Amino acid sequence: SNARLAYINPELAQEEKNKGNEYFKKGDYPTAMRHYNEAVKRDPENAILYSNRAACLTKLMEFQRALDDCDTCIRLDSKFIKGYIRKAACLVAMREWSKAQRAYEDALQVDPSNEEAREGVRNCLR
């Protein structure tokens, strides 16, 4: 809609993301969430914003919503490795080991030398 398009503003999205990151670092996930939501509304095609929000949702134990954001992140930018890593971390938190392993393996398709993904696969196989 026109109203939605008028709302899009990547610079403001970046500011909201930075605020979200500050609150995230402090462990204030609900406040971080508000800023990440605003960032996504301001720049809905930006894959990184969904990855940040997914990390926050995972901390809030909102696993299904976190997975949805990871999938959106990956759909928007299939080369952005953090999308897969966050998806895997979320699946690990849900004890979905084989799905988590697959997400780490998808990450390794993007970057075979990624240590976090390699370590993740090893943990899932344990």
Q: pLDDT per residue over 103-125, tens digit each?
A: 999 999 999 999 999 999 999 99
CATH of the domain at 30: 1.25.40.10
State mean pLDDT over 10-16. Answer: 97
SS3 38: helix
pLDDT at 10 over 80: yes
Stretch (H or E) spanning 28: none
**pLDDT at res. 3:** 78
Q: What is the DSSP letter of 79?
A: T
pLDDT at 83 over 90: yes
**pLDDT at res. 2:** 78
Let me know: does 104 contact 88? Beta carbons within 8 Å. Answer: yes
Let me know: does 11 contact 46? Beta carbons within 8 Å. Answer: no
pLDDT at 6 over 90: no
Whole-angstrom Cα distance, residue 50 to residue 74? 9
Counted domains in the chain = 1
State mean pLDDT over 10-35. Answer: 98
Report percent pLDDT > 70 for the chain.
100
Let me know: does 53 contact 33? Beta carbons within 8 Å. Answer: yes
Q: Mean pLDDT score of the chain, rounded to an integer?
A: 96
Handedness of CA 111, 113, 118, 120 (dihedral sign): negative
pLDDT at 1 over 80: no
CB under 8 Å to 53, separation ≥6 — which residues? 20, 33, 36, 37, 39, 40, 69
Domain around 119: 2-125
**pLDDT at res. 4:** 75
